[in-house]
Chain A
Amino acid sequence: MFDALSERLSGIFESIRGKGRLTEADIDATAREIRLALLEADVALPVVRTFIAQVKERCKGAEVSKALNPAQQIIKVVNEELVGILGGETRRLNYAKNAPTVIMLAGLQGAGKTTLAGKLAKWLKGDGHSPLLVAADLQRPNAVGQLQIIGERAGVTVYAPEPGSGIGDPVKVATDSIAEAKQTGRDVVIIDTAGRLGIDEEMMQQARDIREATSPDEVVFVIDAMVGQDAVNTAEAFRDGVGITGVVLSKLDGDARGGAALSVRHVTGQPILFASTGEKLEDFDVFHPDRMASRILGMGDMLTLIEQA
Chain B
Amino acid sequence: ARSNSALGKGLLSLLASDKLDDEVWEEIEDTLLGADVGIADTTEIVARLREHVQVLGTRSPGELRRLLTEELTAALEPEMDRSIATISPTGEGPATIMMVGVNGSGKTTTCGRIARVLIADGNTVIMGAADTFRAAAAEQLETWGSRVGAEVIRRGEGADPASVAFDAVKAGADTGANVVLIDTAGRLQNKAGLMDELGKVKRVVEKQGPVAETLLVLDATTGQNGLQQAKVFGEVVQISGIVLTKLDGSAKGGIVIAVQRQLGVPVKLVGLGEGPDDLAPFEVGAFVDAIVGGADS
CA–CA, A127 and B144, complex, Å? 39
B274 proximal to A (CB < 8 A)? yes
**Least CB distance, A163 to chain B, in whole angstroms:** 11
By a beta-carbon cutoff of 8 Å, the part of chain B in contact with chain A is 1, 30, 33-36, 38-40, 102-106, 133-136, 139-140, 143-144, 188-191, 219, 221-228, 246, 248-252, 255, 274
Given contacts A45-B30, A142-B143, contact A197 B248 (CB under 8 A): yes
B105 and A110 contacting across the interface, CB-CB below 8 Å: yes
Contact with B along A189-211 (1 / 0, CB 8 A): 00000000111000000000000
Given contacts A165-B143, A197-B250, A199-B249, contact A149 B136 (CB under 8 A): yes
Checking B36, B135, B225 against A150 with a beta-carbon cut-off of 8 angstroms, the contacting residue is B135
Given contacts A1-B40, A256-B225, contact A230 B103 (CB under 8 A): no
B1 / chain A contacts, CB cutoff of 8 Å: 199
The 6 closest A-B pairs by CB, nearest first: A228-B223, A110-B104, A42-B223, A230-B251, A256-B225, A149-B135
A139 / chain B contacts, CB cutoff of 8 Å: 274
A257 / chain B contacts, CB cutoff of 8 Å: 224-225
Given contacts A110-B104, A199-B249, contact A227 B143 (CB under 8 A): no
B223 and A259 contacting across the interface, CB-CB below 8 Å: yes
CA–CA, A228 and B134, complex, Å? 25
CA–CA, A42 and B36, complex, Å? 8
A140 and B274 contacting across the interface, CB-CB below 8 Å: yes
CA–CA, A256 and B224, complex, Å? 8
**Least CB distance, B230 to chain A, in whole angstroms:** 13
A226 and B223 contacting across the interface, CB-CB below 8 Å: yes
A226 and B144 contacting across the interface, CB-CB below 8 Å: no
CA–CA, A257 and B224, complex, Å? 9
Interface centre among B30, B221, B222 (most CB of A within 10 A): B221
A36 closest partner in B (C-beta): B39
B227 closest partner in A (C-beta): A1
A227 and B250 contacting across the interface, CB-CB below 8 Å: no
B144 / chain A contacts, CB cutoff of 8 Å: 141
B188 and A198 contacting across the interface, CB-CB below 8 Å: no
A253 / chain B contacts, CB cutoff of 8 Å: 188, 190-191
By a beta-carbon cutoff of 8 Å, the part of chain A in contact with chain B is 1-2, 36, 39-42, 44-45, 108-112, 114, 139-143, 145-150, 153, 165, 197-199, 224, 226-230, 233-234, 237, 251, 253-257, 259-260, 279
**Least CB distance, B51 to chain A, in whole angstroms:** 22
Checking A147, A259, A279 against B134 with a beta-carbon cut-off of 8 angstroms, the contacting residue is A279
A229 and B34 contacting across the interface, CB-CB below 8 Å: yes
CA–CA, A110 and B105, complex, Å? 7
CA–CA, A199 and B227, complex, Å? 26
**Least CB distance, B9 to chain A, in whole angstroms:** 17
B255 / chain A contacts, CB cutoff of 8 Å: 228
B228 / chain A contacts, CB cutoff of 8 Å: 255-256
B102 / chain A contacts, CB cutoff of 8 Å: 226, 251, 254
25 contacts between A and B (CB under 8 A): A1-B40, A1-B227, A42-B223, A111-B104, A112-B103, A114-B135, A140-B274, A141-B140, A145-B136, A146-B136, A149-B136, A153-B135, A165-B143, A197-B246, A197-B249, A197-B250, A224-B219, A224-B221, A228-B255, A229-B35, A234-B250, A253-B191, A254-B188, A255-B190, A256-B223
B249 and A254 contacting across the interface, CB-CB below 8 Å: no
B36 / chain A contacts, CB cutoff of 8 Å: 42, 228-230
A198 and B249 contacting across the interface, CB-CB below 8 Å: yes
A1 / chain B contacts, CB cutoff of 8 Å: 40, 227
B250 and A230 contacting across the interface, CB-CB below 8 Å: yes
A145 closest partner in B (C-beta): B136
Checking B103, B106, B139, B191 against A145 with a beta-carbon cut-off of 8 angstroms, the contacting residue is B139
A108 and B139 contacting across the interface, CB-CB below 8 Å: no
CA–CA, A259 and B222, complex, Å? 12
CA–CA, A150 and B135, complex, Å? 7
A230 / chain B contacts, CB cutoff of 8 Å: 36, 221, 249-252
Interface centre among B1, B139, B248 (most CB of A within 10 A): B139
CA–CA, A174 and B1, complex, Å? 30
CA–CA, A165 and B144, complex, Å? 10
CA–CA, A279 and B246, complex, Å? 22
A237 / chain B contacts, CB cutoff of 8 Å: 250
B104 and A224 contacting across the interface, CB-CB below 8 Å: yes
A234 / chain B contacts, CB cutoff of 8 Å: 221, 249-250
A42 and B225 contacting across the interface, CB-CB below 8 Å: yes
B221 and A227 contacting across the interface, CB-CB below 8 Å: yes
Given contacts A45-B34, A110-B104, contact A227 B136 (CB under 8 A): no
A44 closest partner in B (C-beta): B34
B134 and A229 contacting across the interface, CB-CB below 8 Å: no
**Least CB distance, A109 to chain B, in whole angstroms:** 6
